[in-house]
Copies of this chain bind each other. A is one copy, B any other.
Amino acid sequence: MRVLAVAVSALLACAGAQAQTLIPPAAIQTAVQLREQALADRTGWQVVESLTTEVGPRMAGSEADARAVAWAEEKFVQLGFDRVWTEPVTFPKWERRSESARVVGAFAQPLQITALGGSPGGQIEAEVVRFADLAALQAAPAGSLAGKIAFVDYRMLAARDGSGYGPGSAVRSKGPSEAIRKGAIGFVMRSAGTDSHRVPHTGITRFDEGLTPIPAAALSVPDADQLSRLLERGPVQLALALDCGWDGQYTSHNVIGEITGSQRPEEVVVIGGHLDSWDLGTGAVDDGAGVAITMAAGHLIGKLPTAPKRTIRVVAFANEEQGLWGGKVYAANRAGAGELERQVIAAESDFGAGRIYAFNTGSPDPAGSRAATAQIAEVLAPLGIELAADKGGPGPDISPLAAIGGAWGWLAQDGSDYFHLHHTADDTLDKIDPAALAQNVAAYTVFAWLAAQAEGDFGTTPKNP
């Protein structure tokens, strides 16, 4: 504990005279025990195995969405959470029925594609015009793609922190609307992915107001290579057939399990993942892992002989994939009920199942929690996790809460291979390393427990909407 004391003293010196949130030594000792126990525990694996096997793919609004909600309620009960409840989340339902693409003409052949979430259906056959990236499409003259299919061939790069996804996903979110503005009747893109398999990457797209949506799809990486090679030989005519689209509203649920606090039960430490997945895989790394990691963390804290001071709340968020619907409802409901101040800190695991390598917290008023953050980091350090001051941010479903003043925790996972699998058929259980998953559970258990025991807050400061 000596090293820790020195570190905290230094932080206090830096922070000046402001009162610091601190974690009592007894809580630290328990955290060390929890950490070692979690590393040897199989609960996280069992939970993700159960979800991906028994429910499988669970796209928001699908038949399996309701089964996933029922699964989560039952799993929380099985794992000993003492309060299990749901909150409704309503959103438009998008369906994928069938999809195919083929090159026609002299080099006729099928190409593997998948519709982007939100795409309308349609059958078109047109010449393909390739753009190296989104900027090149944006630079095309208005009307220049009249009657054509735009193809954005941007190759996403792999990175531990997933930083390649920003430009990769921008092609998906902005490309179709840009293509429409240039006159295109269809849009295809090289998948926002880093693998080399015939598994196209889906994901939500949106069409800007006032535009008439066009069929939009992603090619697998080898198929984008192929289309690019074909285009080197001359004009390519592509036939695209998508049967998909929006169909009414659907109400799913955020599913919530709690380990009730013994001293300040109304104050909650929120951890979670999202319960929905895309339909192509079984949602193992996105985001069965996040649900399992945080359910297991809550379970391990719940098994302690003494309850945490604050409530540990594990949230399995509804429909993250199509627009953070569950996260937005969670934040709006807390704000609406005047509970925002009681959201002590919140963290979502939604970046796969790779080992956590960095940790930080943040809030509108972070100065007072720097010492407690350093204390948590000291307990995380043996897991190979470094304190990354001034880095990170809230997970996707936490971002609506953070936007209105909620404090967030950031436990950064190694995402080097996350985009090999993300939003593809290949997102299946075999891609999860049980030891790495247990390291995640250990980290979330330590984080949630220590945040619940901290004397003082993490800087949650409700903002006026």
Contacts and interface: CB of A to CB of B under 8 A. Distances in A.
A43 B103 CA distance: 26
A316 interface: no
11 contacts: A53-B226, A54-B107, A55-B109, A56-B103, A56-B107, A198-B281, A198-B424, A198-B426, A222-B429, A226-B428, A229-B429
A197 interface: yes
Interface residues of A, number: 35
Contacts of A233: 53-54
Stoichiometry (number of copies): 2
A63 B63 CA distance: 39
A64 interface: yes
Nearest to A281: B198
A247 interface: no
B431 A226 contact: no
Contacts of A49: 229
B109 A56 contact: yes
Given A57-B109, A109-B282, A198-B199, 12 more contacts: A54-B106, A56-B103, A56-B108, A56-B109, A57-B110, A64-B109, A196-B431, A197-B426, A199-B199, A222-B428, A226-B282, A226-B428
Contacts of A197: 197, 199, 426
Contacts of A64: 108-109
Interface of A: 49, 53-57, 63-64, 103, 106-110, 112, 196-199, 221-222, 225-226, 229-230, 233, 281-282, 424-426, 428-431
A107 B55 contact: yes
Nearest to A54: B107
Contacts of A428: 198, 222, 225-226
